[in-house]
Chain A
Amino acid sequence: MKKVIITSLLTILVISVFGNDKFEKAMKKNIELVYSADSEESYQIAINNLTRIADAEPDRWEPEYYIAFAYTLSSFDERNTDKRDALIAIAQQHMDKALNLAPDHAELLTLQGFIYTAKLSVDPATRGPKYSGMAMQKYNQALQQDPENPRALLMLGQMMYGTAQFMGSSTTEACETIGKSIEKFETYNPENEIAPTWGKGQAMRAYEQCGK
């Protein structure tokens, strides 16, 4: 009897390790695809691969997160504003699914803010007042959950920078925030191997702008 129990426990262990490993391996490969995507087609392939994983792993927020992230990024490459809005709308659908699985996760709150920023950038004159507030709120919520999160800091800093520039006021505070995010990028420990790591390059570029 004892043997049977041990055997079954071991079996479960083997299968779950084996399964997890497969999930992480597949995720890592496709996260790389998202980070390196540079065309509509390359985004679509990464999104399709992640969609399969999301469908097979309905309890994990990561696949939905990266799908939403990929759609948001691809919206910035699109020039037709109607299509941009359509891509952002799909990103939001996947964001909602991810948020259902992990409502208060700092990375998800940050991405939600980023999606609002993308929506704002389609029509800044009209959407600016509303969506800048909504995005700021999400970045601040993310920092409440995880004060060390470099992406939330970077996004917050960039939003502050854009606003300050528009108003013609001082960008010092915004640049300090971006600078702080670079420090955090150096020291931040992602919670696992498939946790988001993007943003450092963007932070460096943004910080360079600050010097000018």
Chain B
Amino acid sequence: MIFLKAFVVGGLFCVVAQLLMDLTTHKVTPAHILVGYVVGGVVLSAFGLYQPLIDWAGAGATVPITGFGHLLAQGTIQGVGQKGILGAFSGGLAAAATGITAAVIFGYLAAIFFKPKG
């Protein structure tokens, strides 16, 4: 059941983005989608709305880039709880460290090893 929920919720996140790109008159690029979704995840998380979605849909909510925003927001909020104002600076990247490091390492290696097509 969790697999079905993950599929549907993960798919719906993408449907909203597709409609934003196709239906608006502004030029909405993938970069705008990614930035908007991360900030959207931060805001939803701040209002306590994102964790319930993760509890319900699992990877359907963590795999979309909004989950990255959630991770950042929970990191800074928990950081404030532990270290006060200093935690607002350290908590976000600490929580997101694995993802960011993986992206830099694997991204760099892929760009070095592979040649673009065409």
Are A and B physically bound partners? no
